[in-house]
Amino acid sequence: MSPILRIEMLIFSLFFFVYIIRSINKNIFLLKNVIRWLLISAGLVVFAVFPGLPEWLATQLGFETTSNFLLFAAILVLLFIEIKNSALLSKQQNQIKLLIQELSILKAKKEKK
């Protein structure tokens, strides 16, 4: 990998890491929801500093090219994030439904009085 590309990767990954940290500080994200993004940004920094690591992992896991390994890893990470988001969405929908039901019961009781 060329030195210019390594420097660009490192700069991008550090900017991404700083953006995530600043978003936490500005209360844009909750800390419990942003831990996975911190891990992803830390992984990007590690891959930028040690460019041979993805190549080594790809060969150890039996991938023919490093790009196939990185694409597979990205798909797995995005799949995990989507499953977690779907579970959170389902939980919130159930909570909203319960709140609406409780509010309707309270309104009905208030109207009877």
Q: What local confidence, expressed as pLDDT, does residue 91 receive?
A: 95
Q: Give CA–CA dist 73/39, Å, rounded.
A: 13
- Classify the phi-psi angles of 62: left when phi > 0, otherwise alpha if psi is within -120 to 50, otherwise beta: left
Q: What is the pTM of this model?
A: 0.71
Average pLDDT over residues 21-49: 86
For the chain, the straight-line distance linking the first and the last C-alpha, in angstroms and rounded, comes to 76
Q: What local confidence, expressed as pLDDT, does residue 36 receive?
A: 86
